[in-house]
Structure 1
Amino acid sequence: MDNRFCAFNDKRIFAAEVSDEYEWVGFSAPSYFSHVPPYVEECMKDVSYNEKQKVFLIAGCGGNRGLAIQDMRKHVHNSKKEVDLEYMVMLSGSYILSYGSFPMWYQKFFIKQSYKKIHKMALDIKNGRKRKPLGKGIFYKTKYEAAVQHSIANYAMIGKQFKVSNKCSACEACIKICPVGNISLTDGKITFGDHCNQCMGCIQWCQNHAIDYQGKAAKRKRYHHLDVKRQELFQR
């Protein structure tokens, strides 16, 4: 998909039409709290496709895709389009507010499996295959949906509660890595806005371990994808 499709600017999402030059249009998003992040929902609203374009969806998760695929599928259907292919790709979880990074052997295993899955997806797309729609994640429980929605309602404000210790060197790595422009340097201090998307990149990649939330991340091991280098993230 054209990387100009979704842009974040002053807390509003601006979407452009999908170019007719693309035969396939793909959406890949993580499952947070059993749903895709609100940012993804905004990006997928009111997208227009031509009648020949095909659509695939990918939900990434650390174990439970929840209703992430259904969230994305809903927006495709609202645009009068069907989804041709749906996938889940499982990786080592990275939500440091709940747990620290998993052992290296565990990470390597799931990265290897993810590459196999990506190869399979590429072949499906190349050969124009069709697959059955995915159901909800096996660990998703409807009885918890009210609590999930409560978390989502407070989703964007969590960054306002991040604390920056005196270990901070104002290197601006967190600013560069934030995908939604929620972090800034004000009077020499790191500050957070009110549209955090909880990717946890700022906490995970702070080389000084200066960012924390209610003491939850302080002693936990950080997660860095084994095939992603620090400099690559900051060259975006």
Structure 2
Amino acid sequence: MKSVIYYFSGTGNNLAIAKQLAKELGETTVLPMSELVQNKMISDEYEWVGFTAPSYFSHVPPYVEECMKDVSYNEKQKVFLIAGCGGNRGLAIQDMRKQVYNSKKEVDLEYMVMLSGSYILSYGSFPMWYQKFFIKQSYKKIHKMALDIKNGRKRKPLGKGIFYKTKYEAAVQHSIANYAMIGKQFKVSDKCSACEACLKICPVGNISLTDGKITFGDHCNQCMGCIQWCQNHAIDYQGKAAKRKRYHHLDVKRQDLFQR
């Protein structure tokens, strides 16, 4: 049984989920969501097709929906969805499910995997014990997920996250609409060494190096990868991250996230 898992990840959480599940399943290819931008056709060699993405402000990043839009599956392929998040999956699973349904395909399995949150513009890294606890729990859950997939099980679709409130949706959409504006205002200090790690990590290709200086485009998806992984702590937004401890998944190295 061959499988493929597409992931979106800034600080490594959803990449770690994909890699651990691939290890459990065997014969599994792990690819960034960006691979779907150029090629919407899923190879017939894969029996299972998986997607794992975070929930930001109760939804998957807009780029995830863009990547999953109009994907072409064959009749026999089965699909699973994973929302890897810090506790509130919101409507992330529904967002991904909608794109699969729009491609005339059913979803066989849906999961939420909780890991440490990473939105450094609101909070710093959680204590190490907390991170390790949820990584351990996540791997236990991933083992059970692998058994479901290997045995061809089906589970009921997940509902909205328990912390999601419809009355806040307008505010949520306002926050999402501001992703690009906030990203455009990221500042780089003179501590920057122009190592290019941030532009290699950025899952949406929003960062470039121009005349030796890091510049930001207009399609940031707020993954926080550039701020969290900068070894010199040179990137910030309105001083919010300056004194906060950085976070990345303990089992992921920044080179693992290099996409270009």
TM score, norm. by length of structure 1: 0.91
Moved more, 163-172 or 35-44: 163-172
* CA distance in 1: counterparts of 2:41 and 2:138, whole angstroms: 30
- TM superposition shift of 1:157: 3.0
SS at match of 2:146: helix
* CA distance in 1: counterparts of 2:257 and 2:84, whole angstroms: 19
SS at match of 1:12: helix
- TM superposition shift of 1:111: 0.3
SS at match of 1:26: strand
Contact 1:182–1:192 (CA under 8 A) maintained in structure 2? yes
Unaligned runs of 5+ in 1: 1-9
Unaligned runs of 5+ in 2: 1-33
Do the aligned partners of residues 15 and 78 (structure 1) sit closer, same or farther apart at CA in structure 2, a change above 3 Å counting? Answer: same
Do the aligned partners of residues 78 and 230 (structure 1) sit closer, same or farther apart at CA in structure 2, a change above 3 Å counting? Answer: closer
Contact 2:203–2:259 (CA under 8 A) maintained in structure 1? no
- TM superposition shift of 1:201: 0.8
- TM superposition shift of 1:129: 0.7
Q: Summarize the alignment of residues 12-51 of structure 1 with structure 2, pairs less than 5 Å apart.
A: 13-51=37-75
- Offset from partner CA, 1:89-122 (integer Å, 9 cap, x none): 0000011011000000000000001111111111
Do the aligned partners of residues 109 and 12 (structure 1) sit closer, same or farther apart at CA in structure 2, a change above 3 Å counting? Answer: closer
The percent identity for this pair of structures is 93
Matched, 1:128 2:147: no
Do the aligned partners of residues 190 and 12 (structure 1) sit closer, same or farther apart at CA in structure 2, a change above 3 Å counting? Answer: farther
* CA distance in 2: counterparts of 1:162 and 1:222, whole angstroms: 16
SS at match of 1:13: helix
Provide the residue aligned with 2:236 in structure 1.
212
* CA distance in 2: counterparts of 1:111 and 1:229, whole angstroms: 15
* CA distance in 1: counterparts of 2:158 and 2:40, whole angstroms: 28
Contact 1:73–1:83 (CA under 8 A) maintained in structure 2? yes
Do the aligned partners of residues 14 and 235 (structure 1) sit closer, same or farther apart at CA in structure 2, a change above 3 Å counting? Answer: closer
- Offset from partner CA, 1:154-200 (integer Å, 9 cap, x none): 22332211011111111212112112211111111111011112111
- TM superposition shift of 1:233: 3.5
* CA distance in 1: counterparts of 2:36 and 2:108, whole angstroms: 29
Moved more, 97-106 or 160-169: 160-169
- TM superposition shift of 1:126: 0.2
* CA distance in 1: counterparts of 2:178 and 2:114, whole angstroms: 26
- Offset from partner CA, 1:137-162 (integer Å, 9 cap, x none): 00001111001111112223322110
Do the aligned partners of residues 79 and 14 (structure 1) sit closer, same or farther apart at CA in structure 2, a change above 3 Å counting? Answer: same
Moved more, 132-141 or 181-190: 181-190
SS at match of 2:133: helix
- TM superposition shift of 1:231: 3.8
Moved more, 175-184 or 138-147: 175-184
* CA distance in 1: counterparts of 2:78 and 2:255, whole angstroms: 34
- TM superposition shift of 1:234: 4.1
Do the aligned partners of residues 62 and 234 (structure 1) sit closer, same or farther apart at CA in structure 2, a change above 3 Å counting? Answer: same
How many residues were matched structurally? 227
SS at match of 2:142: helix
- TM superposition shift of 1:16: 2.1
Matched, 1:148 2:148: no
Do the aligned partners of residues 12 and 89 (structure 1) sit closer, same or farther apart at CA in structure 2, a change above 3 Å counting? Answer: closer
- TM superposition shift of 1:12: 11
SS at match of 2:38: strand
SS at match of 1:93: coil
- Offset from partner CA, 1:121-140 (integer Å, 9 cap, x none): 11100000111110000000
- TM superposition shift of 1:11: 14
